[in-house]
């Protein structure tokens, strides 16, 4: 029987704190979400000033990254490069840059999704959060 790692509440809090610190250091008003490997929401916070829609988009990006085991940007790029039929993929709604899988020891434990600023900045915040887990 295989063993499976998973995110603990302490792990989630550590990721969220680092992501929030990155956003605040840059004066970015965003929503930050963290999901488990099945895309189930573990954490959601909307920083002051973040658009209400960002609280819907961030979890969708995280879920897409977790279920796909890759950054959500991969799907955005596929669609932008002409594979329009991918828009109809079931379950995936956040096919925009800003969802980043949390991978430890080659195993995907979940993902972080961020929404509220430029997509590259959303991804930067997500990656800063994940980096705190492995630091």
Summarised one tens digit per residue, pLDDT across range 33-61 is: 999 999 999 999 999 999 999 999 999 99
2 found inside a domain: no
C-alpha distances out from residue 18 to 2, 93, 118, 125, Å: 31, 25, 19, 8
CATH code, domain carrying 109: 3.30.450.150
pLDDT at residue 134, as a whole number: 79
3 found inside a domain: no
4 found inside a domain: no
The torsion angle over the Cα atoms of residues 32, 6, 131 and 22, rounded to 10 degrees, is 20
User: Cα–Cα distance between 115 and 28 in angstroms, integer?
Assistant: 10
Q: What is the pTM of this model?
A: 0.96
CA-CA-CA-CA torsion sign (41, 46, 51, 52): positive
111 found inside a domain: yes
* Number of domains into which the chain is organized: 1
Do the strands 31-36 and 99-104 form a parallel or antiparallel pair, or are they unpaired? unpaired
Summarised one tens digit per residue, pLDDT across range 98-131 is: 999 999 999 999 999 999 999 999 999 999 999 9
pLDDT at residue 96, as a whole number: 94
Residue 41, H or E segment:
strand 41-46
Domain that holds residue 68: 9-134
45 found inside a domain: yes
């Amino acid at each position: 029987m295989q063993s499976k790692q998973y995110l603990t509440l302490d792990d989630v809090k550590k990721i969220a704190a680092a992501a929030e610190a990155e956003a605040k250091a840059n004066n970015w008003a965003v929503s930050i979400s963290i999901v488990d490997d099945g895309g189930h929401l573990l954490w959601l916070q909307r920083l002051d000033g973040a658009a209400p829609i960002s609280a819907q988009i961030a979890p969708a990006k995280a879920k897409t990254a977790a279920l796909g085991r890759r950054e959500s940007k991969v799907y955005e790029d596929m669609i932008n490069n002409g594979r329009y039929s991918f828009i109809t993929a079931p379950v995936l709604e956040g096919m925009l840059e800003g969802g980043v899988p949390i991978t430890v020891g080659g195993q995907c434990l979940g993902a972080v999704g961020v929404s509220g600023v430029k997509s590259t900045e959303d991804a930067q915040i997500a990656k800063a959060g994940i980096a705190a887990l492995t630091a």
